[in-house]
A = this chain, B = another copy of it.
Amino acid sequence: MRKYLIGLVSLLILSGSLCLAQTVQPKIIDDFKPSTLNQPGQDYPQVNSQGYARFHIVAPQAQSLIVSLGLGGTRGGTPLTKAEDGSWIGTTAGPMEEGFHYYHLTIDGGVFNDPGTLNFYGSTRWESGIEIPAHDQDFYALKDVPHGKVQQILFPSKSTNTSRRAFVYTPASYDKDKSQRYPVLYLQHGWGEDETAWSNQGHANLIMDNMIAEGKIKPFIIVMTYGMTNDVKMGGMANFKIEPFQTVLIDELIPYVDANFRTIADQPHRAMAGLSMGGMETHTITLARPDVFSHYALLSGGIYTPAEIKDKSKVKLIFVSCGSFENPDGVKKAVVALKEAGFNAVSFVSENTRHEFQTWRRSLYELAPLLFKN
- Enumerate chain A interface residues (CB-CB to B < 8 A): 39-41, 57-64, 86, 105, 107-113, 115, 118-119, 124-126, 142-144, 147, 149-156, 162-163, 168, 175, 178, 199, 205, 209, 231, 233-234, 260-261
Contacts and interface: CB of A to CB of B under 8 A. Distances in A.
Contacts of A62: 62-63, 107-110
A88 B357 CA distance: 35
Contact of A152 (B59, B113, B149, B234): B149
Contact of A61 (B41, B64, B142): B64
A126 B115 CA distance: 8
Contacts of A64: 61
A109 B261 contact: no
A58 B106 CA distance: 10
Nearest to A209: B154
Given A40-B233, A152-B149, A109 B124 contact: no
A107 B59 contact: yes
Contact of A261 (B118, B175, B231): B175
Given A60-B108, A142-B162, A150-B152, 12 more contacts: A39-B125, A41-B233, A58-B110, A62-B62, A62-B107, A107-B107, A112-B113, A118-B126, A142-B154, A149-B152, A149-B168, A154-B209
A270 to B, nearest CB: 19
Given A40-B233, A124-B41, A142-B163, A147 B151 contact: no
Contacts of A205: 152
A225 B306 CA distance: 50
